[in-house]
Amino acid sequence: MMAHYAAQMRARVIVLAGPSGSGKSRLAERLALPLLRLDDFYRGGDDPALPQSDIGIVDWDDPASWDAASACEAIDALCHDGHVDAPAYDIAANARVGHRELVLNGSAFIVAEGLFAPEIVAECMRRDLLADAICVRHPRMVTFVLRLVRDLREHRKPPLVLLRRGWRLLLTEPQVVAYAVARGCEPMSPGAAERRLGVLFEPSRR
């Protein structure tokens, strides 16, 4: 049994999943809770075990490109200890570029959001850390446009790569949502999710 299990739990985690570009990051920011960005737990681009996509680049949409164990340990530490030193990842550079300290500041909930959020739901439940698990989604074409605009604005990859990847994600989005639902996430729009979570954590702020 891990040492954290003996410590008093200070917070629980709200897991936000959803297709890339679905609005989960914006929702997480609006909730104004301590936020652990799960995309910061990507593996480095020089890792020889990274999976490859059918368009000739690293498949950053494959869970094998991500470190689930480290993400769960960070959530556990933040919920029990009240603080954690989390990595900072630069998607354009395919590398961790630093770190940042997250603290609870008395909050009874934290948010963990990212593309691979469904991968941690079962482990968070096993550790009795889970408050809620939601898959944020829009109509597919809306997500496609939002994602492309975001990725171009942030210069994540060359435009042609972003367009090809975005089209592939558009086609596979139903499977992404189904995968999240099968792992315990409830699908809903960002607005519905915000209303639901407001009911959950507002009493703890009074």
What percent of the chain shows pLDDT beyond 70?
93
**For 33-78, what is each residue's pLDDT tens digit?**
999 999 899 887 788 778 887 777 778 778 888 899 999 999 999 9
**For 113-163, what is each residue's pLDDT tens digit?**
998 999 999 999 999 999 999 999 988 888 778 878 887 887 777 888 888
What is the Cα–Cα distance from 41 to 192, expressed in whole angstroms?
28
Check residue 7 and give its pLDDT: 59
Domains plus CATH for the chain?
Answer: 3-205 (3.40.50.300)
Check residue 180 and give its pLDDT: 95
What is the Cα–Cα distance from 6 to 2, expressed in whole angstroms?
8
What is the Cα–Cα distance from 157 to 14, expressed in whole angstroms?
30
Evaluate if residue 167 carries a pLDDT over 90.
Answer: no
Tokens of 22: 């679905």
Give Dmax over CA atoms of the chain in angstroms: 52
Check residue 203 and give its pLDDT: 53
For residues 180, 3, 42, 104, the Cα torsion angle rounded to the nearest 10 degrees is 80
What is the Cα–Cα distance from 94 to 10, expressed in whole angstroms?
33
Q: Cβ distance 109 to 202 under 8 Å?
A: no
Question: 104-139: string of b/e by CB count within 10 Å (b at 16+)?
Answer: beebbbbbbbbbbbbbbbebbeebebbbbbbbbbbe
Q: With bands split at pLDDT 50, 70 and 90, how would you rate the model's confidence at 204? A: low
Q: What is the DSSP string of 158-182?
A: -HHHHHHHHHHHHHHHHHHHHHHHH
Q: With bands split at pLDDT 50, 70 and 90, how would you rate the model's confidence at 199? A: confident
Q: Which amino acid, one-letter code, is at 3?
A: A
